[in-house]
Amino acid sequence: MCRLSAITSSDYISPMENILALETMKEGHDGSGLGLMLKDLGGPFKDMKKYPILSAICSNRGLETLDEFMKSQGFREKMTWAPSIKQIAGIERREHYIAKVYDYPESYKDADMRVKEDLLMNTRLAIRKIGEPDESIFCFSFYPDVLTLKEVGDPLAVGEFFGLDNSDVKAKIVLAQGRQNTNYAIYLYACHPFFIQGYGTMTNGENTAFVPIREFLMGRGNPGYMGYNSDSEVFTHILHYSNRQLGYPLHYYKDVITPLKDNELAKRSDGAAMKLLKKSLRPLCIDGPNCVIGFTPDGSVFMVQDAKKLRPGVVGGTAGKKFGLMSEVCGLDSAVPDRDKSTDIFPMKYDMVIIAPQAREVKVWNQLHV
Amino acid sequence: MESAARLDQNHQLTLKEFPYIVRWREDRCTRCGRCTAVCPVKAIEPAVRSQRIVSSEGSSPEPQVTRRLTHVVQQSTDIDRYCIGCTTCSLVCPTDAIFPEYNFQHKFNHYKNKGGIPYMRGGRRNDPSVSTLDKLKFTRISMLTDPALDAGRHEFRIRTILGRNLSPDQLPIKVAGDKLELDPKVFVPPTREIYPIRIGSMSIGALSPHMWEGLAMGITYLNEVEGLPVVMCSGEGGMPPSILKSRYIKYFILQIASGYFGWDEIIRSLPDMTEDPCAIEIKYGQGAKPGDGGLLQAYKVLGLISKIRGVPEFVDLASPPTHQTKYSIEEAVAKMITSMSMAWGFRVPVYPKISGTKTARAVLNNLARNPYAAALCIDGEDGGTGAAYNVSMDKMGHPIASNIRDCYLDLVKQGKQNELPLIAAGGVGKAGNLAANAAALIMLGASAVDIGKYIMQTAAGCFGDEYNRCNVCNLGKCPRGITTQDPKLYRRLDPDKIAERVVEVFKAADVELKKIFAPLGRSTELPIGMSDALGVGEKDIADRLSISYVC
């Protein structure tokens, strides 16, 4: 089992807070990797919010290829940030960990955000295609105000390795996953969190229904629905598909992955629509065991469980200040110690916990009461 | 040296040429005559033989030879009266004195074409080897990292959708505030939620009235009492108007085939129908005899059958191999689907059934573009039939496993695997493993499976097997009374007992499906296309089906 640690806050926080929370949940992960995804960035990225950030790991050659490619596509580099790497025993250092901020190509300057998002995704996919065969480039995200860091190793050690304990990189939303390597070889593209066009998610658990879901997603005609080195990547894409592509409000994500029974749907005010939706999106239904934590482009953060097997998950914090979404209470105690514990939320089979942007408020959507 | 008389018999067959040799034990036989009376093909007969008896009395051996006449049970060597191995003789014998034994060295196929007429029979492909379906196993077992479900405790939803599902981007749904709303004015194709194992098309006519009634009662009980929405298909030949007009019609799929038999009655009943049928199946082909039309031989066209079908008694009812009015899938088939849909106001799913074939994908791709096509049923080479040429049954057709897999993967490529359900038939439960075969086909991509021969064997004790046992369904002489219109034969069957068995079979299969799906960790939706759960010990099969090779 992996361990998940997400924080959404009205103030900028250090990703070390998430890592320390993961450290308290150490019994639940084997230190086989750490994935960090930061959104709504502070520090050096604070004034760059409208420019896309490309997060990647490259070899020397890969970096050259990347620069040439980006230039050829008309992207103009505005800034490069790299973590100050500290050699740690047991972590094999790769040549370049980079976050490059670009300005859009001239022809896209005034384009609609949806058009820009397609450009960014297609560029990321093209880079992945170039760098994947010889592993010279791993490109995790390319989107404004989002930064991704991943490496194999114990989360605390990886945090130190990236120098995050002394870094000025901060964010208002941080997803962190401490990896428990199960089905798949330790491969960076298999590490959570996963990202597509402003949506990032990480998952705890194994996805039994992976193959039919993957096949359904791959048939949607979206080039971004690819990769799938992890069975959890589909959760990011289901979210993207239901929320962005189909335009359904965020809480319907729960209805897509764990649809209600027909007799339960009949009691809902949107029951007629849901019955149809359930049939058409039937292949996206999961059986768990999964706990999914993620964010959307507007800065909402959520936690959701499958309807049967459930993975541990708890949400707690203070509205307007900070919320933690963790696998375990000890992680929450580490990240948000001064909260009212009596208001902690343990989402169950029908629930989806959604925290509004800037940690403004927390809302529990219950599928039975929509 | 042989006598000249002996040579005169040179053109006769010996018992060694026959598929079944009757073993009769003189010492046990009481000469009651039941076996010879009951034999459906008169393969055995009473005969009188002169017997040489050597006996000795007294303290020292003094053999005395005497001859006496005795009654024996004799097997015929007339090819038209070959023993079919049905074992009805064994069933009636009070002293276990008789049973037919399979003869592996037989040369039956060499001789069964007397008068220039090829061998015709019922049953299915005489291939007793292990089918591909039976070679597939479920190898993705949820263990520790992904807890398995509990077949006895967790809630399982073993249901499938028959009918066209809209693609998500075609749904007439709009966002209103933070809710979704349905636009009720937009047409949504009809669908049915049914049990994924169906009783496939077997007509009243092919089946005896008792058999059909038993099946019909069984599925009705399953629907109304057990809550299992099992449906069955009428086959070609219609249904009694009393059922057409009843509320039970919703458990039946009406089949229209190339002879259109029975459709006069159906059309006449339409205005009085109180409920819609489950679906309409347009039969274009049958797995057991691709390229052949339906055939109900004259022996079976009696009373009720001739009435329902609107034909005189005692005539061969041969449906043409193809629908005579259909010349193209793009136009004529589409029109037929639309016409049938129109007859029920677009409230009933309409889909075609074809034989397994290499060209199935071409059919599929046409249907995928037809918004009114509700499914595609593919009947593989191991499907059964009531009457066909042996050559059609044994040598024509396509195995269902790779056919359904190819079609499913084609739909996946188009992203339409959830829109057009595939129904797999032909050899499901051939070796008795109904749930395992059904689950394997579902994981290869089928939304549902059809059974025919399996339910006849399981619910009514059909003798047929892949060693050509019995298989006289075409002659109306079915010794069990399953495929005959002769009241003397079908009164042997008790419809209540058949119904009871149907219920038992489906309840047991339901438990077994749960026992398969639970360790795979699936319970909410049917694992359609969950091919990662399958494994097979033969590399070629694994490669062909795109599943894992395990050893």
B142/A283 Cβ within 8 A: no
CATH number 3.40.228.10 is the correct assignment for the domain at B14-54+65-117: no
Tell whether the model's pLDDT for residue A30 goes beyond 70. no
Q: Of chain B residues 164-193, which have a CB less than 8 A from chain A?
A: 165-173, 175, 178-182, 184, 188, 191, 193
User: Residue B11: what are its φ and ψ, rounded to 5°?
Assistant: -90, 5
Helix (H), strand (E) at residue A76: strand A76-81
pLDDT of B154 above 80: no
Distance from CA of B187 to the nearest CA of A (A): 12
B71, B77, B80, B83 alpha-carbon torsion, rounded to 10°: 70
In the structure encoding, which two tokens stand for residue B150, read together?
A: 């509990």
The pLDDT, as a whole number, for residue B205 is 85
Query: Which residues of B are less than 8 Å from A252 in CB distance?
Result: 180
Please name the residue ranges forming H helices in A193-232: 210-218
Which residue of chain B has the CA closest to A219?
Answer: B415
CA–CA min distance A83, chain B (Å): 34
Is B527 an 8 Å CB contact of chain A?
yes
Residue A34 and residue A151 in contact, taking contact as beta carbons nearer than 8 Å? yes
| Amino acid at the residue B214 | G
Cβ contact, residue pair A211, B418, below 8 Å: no
**CA separation, residue B253 to residues A275, B116, B354 (Å):** 24, 39, 16
Which residues, other chains included, contact B342 with Cβ-Cβ below 8 Å and sequence gap of 6+? none
A3-40+153-369: CATH homologous superfamily?
Aminohydrolase, N-terminal nucleophile (Ntn) domain (3.60.20.10)
The pLDDT, as a whole number, for residue A180 is: 65
Q: Nearest by CB to B412, which of A1, A219, A249?
A: A219
Q: What is the mean pLDDT of residues B478-485?
A: 95
Chain B positions touching A273 (Cβ under 8 A) are 171, 173, 180-182
Average pLDDT of B540-546? 98
Report chain A residues whose CB lies below 8 A from the CB of B532.
210-211
CB B296 within 8 A of CB B205: yes
Q: Is B453 helix (H, G, I), strand (E, B) or coil?
A: helix
Residues of chain B with CATH 3.20.20.70: 135-167+196-519+537-549
Nearest CA in chain B to A248: B175
Has residue B6 got a pLDDT over 80? no
d(CA B87, CA B101): 9
Sign of CA dihedral B192, B195, B197, B198: negative
CA distance B502 to chain A (A): 27
* Cβ–Cβ below 8 Å for A219 and B530: no
- The C-alpha atoms of residue B35 and residue B201 are separated, in whole angstroms, by 34
Evaluate if residue A28 carries a pLDDT over 80: no
Q: Given pLDDT bands bounded at 50, 70 and 90, which one contains residue A107?
A: very high
- Residue among B512, B154, B421 nearest A288 (CA): B154
- What's the confidence (pLDDT) of residue A145? 96
Residue A307 has pLDDT above 90, yes or no: no
For B542, the enclosing helix (H) or strand (E) is: helix B539-545
Calpha distance A286→A302 (Å, rounded): 17
Residues of A in contact with B523 (CB under 8 A): 287, 308
- Write down the ipTM of this complex: 0.90
Verify whether the Cβ–Cβ distance B167 to A261 is below 8 Å: no
* Min Cα–Cα distance to chain A from B428, Å: 23
Give residue B450's pLDDT: 98
- Residue B179 confidence (pLDDT) above 90: yes
All residues of chain A having their beta carbon less than 8 Å from the beta carbon of residue B178 are 249, 251
Among B415, B527, B530, the residue with its CB nearest the CB of A221 is B415
> Hey, what long-range contacts does B451-455 have (CB within 8 A, 24 or more apart)?
B451/B197, B451/B198, B451/B199, B451/B200, B451/B425, B452/B199, B452/B200, B452/B201, B452/B202, B452/B383, B452/B384, B452/B425, B453/B123, B453/B124, B453/B383, B453/B384, B453/B429, B454/B428, B454/B429, B454/B430, B455/B199, B455/B215, B455/B502, B455/B505
Q: A216 and B179: CB-CB below 8 Å?
A: no
Confidence of residue B237 (pLDDT cuts 50, 70, 90): confident
Least confident of A52-56, B52-56, B348-352, B398-402: B52-56
What's chain B's average pLDDT?
92
Nearest-10 crossing angle of helices A113-131, A60-72: 140
**pLDDT(B511) > 70:** yes
How many Å apart are CA A143 and CA A349, to the nearest integer?
33
Query: What sign does the dihedral A321-A310-A27-A152 (CA atoms) show?
Result: negative
Q: Which residues of B touch A260 (CB under 8 A)?
A: none
User: What average pLDDT does this structure show over A267-277?
Assistant: 94
Q: Do A283 and B529 touch (CB under 8 A)?
A: yes
Looking at the partner chain, which of A212, A220, A241 has a beta carbon nearest the beta carbon of B530?
A212
pLDDT band at B320 (very low <50, low <70, confident <90, very high): confident
pLDDT of the residue at A25: 87
pLDDT in tens, A168-208: 899 999 999 987 665 445 788 888 899 999 999 999 888 88
Of all residues in chain B, the one with the smallest CA distance to A279 is B165
* B371 φ/ψ angles, rounded to the nearest 5 degrees: -65, -15
> Exposed, middle or buried: residue A109 (CB in 10 Å: 0-12, 13-18, 19+)?
exposed
A324: helix, coil or strand?
A: strand
Give tens-digit pLDDT for B66-89.
999 999 999 999 999 999 999 999
pLDDT of amino acid B294: 77
Please give the torsion angle defined by the CA atoms of residues B219, B224, B227 and B232, in that order, rounded to the nearest 10 degrees. 20
* B295 or A175, which is more confident: A175
Q: Does B520 touch chain A (CB under 8 A)?
A: yes
B380 exposed, middle or buried (CB, 10 Å; 0-12, 13-18, 19+)?
buried
Cβ contact, residue pair B179, A288, below 8 Å: no
Token look-up 């993705």 returns: B140
- Give residue-wise pLDDT tens across range A226-237: 999 888 999 999
The sign one gets for the Cα dihedral B204, B208, B213, B216 is: negative
List Cβ<8 Å contacts ≥24 apart for B316-321: B317/B205, B317/B259, B317/B261, B318/B259, B318/B293, B318/B294, B319/B236, B319/B257, B319/B258, B319/B259, B319/B261, B319/B293, B319/B294, B319/B295, B320/B258, B320/B259, B320/B293, B321/B258, B321/B291, B321/B292, B321/B293
Rounded to 10 degrees, the C-alpha dihedral A200/A203/A207/A211 comes to 20
To the nearest whole angstrom, how far is the Cα of B181 from the nearest Cα of chain A?
6
pLDDT of residue A31: 66
pLDDT on residue B507: 97
Examine the pLDDT at A153 and tell me if it is beyond 70: yes
CB A303 within 8 A of CB A325: yes
Position B295 pLDDT exceeds 80: no
Which chain B residues are within 8 Å of A218, Cβ to Cβ? 412, 415
Q: What is the per-residue pLDDT for B4?
A: 57
Q: Mean pLDDT over residues A326-349, rounded?
A: 94
Q: Is the pLDDT of residue B94 over 80?
A: yes
Over pLDDT 70: what percentage of chain A?
97
The pLDDT-based confidence of A311 (bands split at 50, 70, 90) is: confident
Q: For chain B, what percent of residues have pLDDT higher than 70?
A: 98
Question: How large is the average pLDDT for residues B4-29?
Answer: 87
Query: Is B356 a residue whose pLDDT tops 60?
Result: yes
Do residue A208 and residue B521 have CB atoms under 8 angstroms apart? Answer: yes
Nearest to B350 by CA among B376, B380, B323: B376
Q: Which residues on chain B are in Cβ contact (under 8 Å) with A369? A: none
pLDDT category of residue B7 using cuts at 50, 70 and 90: low
Chain B CB within 8 Å of residue A45 CB:
no
pLDDT for residue A66 = 96
pLDDT per position as a tens digit, A109-145: 899 999 999 999 999 999 999 999 999 999 999 999 9
Strands (E), B263-307: 279-283, 295-296
B15 min Cα distance to partner chain A (Å)? 56
Residue among B405, B487, B425, B478 nearest B235 (CA): B425
What was the pLDDT predicted at B11? 84
Q: Residue A245 to residues A273, B181, B534: CA-CA distances in angstroms?
A: 17, 17, 32
Contact A283 B188 (CB under 8 A): no
What tokens appear for B550 in the block?
A: 């395990």
Which pLDDT score, from 0 to 100, does residue B376 have? 97
Residues 400-419 of B with CB under 8 A from A: 412-418
What's the CATH superfamily of A50-144? ACT domain (3.30.70.260)
Specify the 3-state DSSP secondary structure of B111. Answer: helix
Q: What pLDDT does residue A69 have?
A: 96
In the stretch 58-117 of chain A, residues with CB closer than 8 A to chain B read none
Task: Among B167, B180, B413, select the one facing A280 at the smallest CB separation.
Answer: B167
Burial B509-526 (b: 16+ CB within 10 A, else e): bbebbbebbbbbbbbbbb
Contact call for residues A295 and A39 (beta carbons, < 8 A): yes
Q: Average pLDDT of B475-504? A: 95
Distance of alpha carbon A162 from alpha carbon A157, whole angstroms: 9
Give me the pLDDT at residue B141, please: 86
Rounded to whole angstroms, the maximal C-alpha distance in chain A is: 60
pLDDT digits (tens, 9 = 90+) for B208-222: 999 999 999 999 999
Asked whether the beta carbons of residue A282 and residue B161 sit closer than 8 angstroms, the reply is yes
**How does strand B160-163 pair with strand B448-451?**
unpaired
If you average pLDDT over each of A76-90, B141-155, B315-329, B410-424, which comes out highest? Answer: B410-424
Region B319-346: mean pLDDT is 83
- Please state whether the peptide bond connecting residue A289 to the residue before it is cis, i.e. omega within 30 degrees of 0: yes
The CATH homologous superfamily to which domain B135-167+196-519+537-549 belongs is: Aldolase class I (3.20.20.70)
Q: How many CB atoms are closer than 10 A to CB B291?
A: 13
Please state the domain extents for chain A. Answer: 3-40+153-369, 50-144
Interface residue of B165, B173, B175, B422 to substitute, partner A, most A CBs within 10 Å = B173
Q: Do A270 and B180 touch (CB under 8 A)?
A: yes
3-state DSSP assignment of residue A131: helix
Calculate the alpha carbon distances from A238 to A213, A242, A257, B337 in Å.
Answer: 9, 6, 8, 34
Question: How many A-B residue pairs are in contact by the CB < 8 A criterion?
Answer: 124
DSSP for residue B149: P
d(C-alpha A345, C-alpha A329), whole Å: 10
CA distance to partner chain B, nearest, from residue A123 (Å): 24
- Nearest CA among B385, B383, B397 for reference residue B294: B385
B-chain residues near A220 (CB < 8 A): 415
pLDDT digits (tens, 9 = 90+) for B456-466: 999 999 999 99
Contacts of B516 in chain A (CB under 8 A): none
Among the partner residues B147, B182, B418, nearest to A216 by beta-carbon distance = B418
Looking at the complex, does the CB of residue A249 fall below 8 Å from at least one CB of chain B?
yes
In Å, what is the CA distance from A116 to each residue of A103, A128, A142, A227, B516? Answer: 11, 18, 11, 21, 47
- Three-class SS state of A326: strand
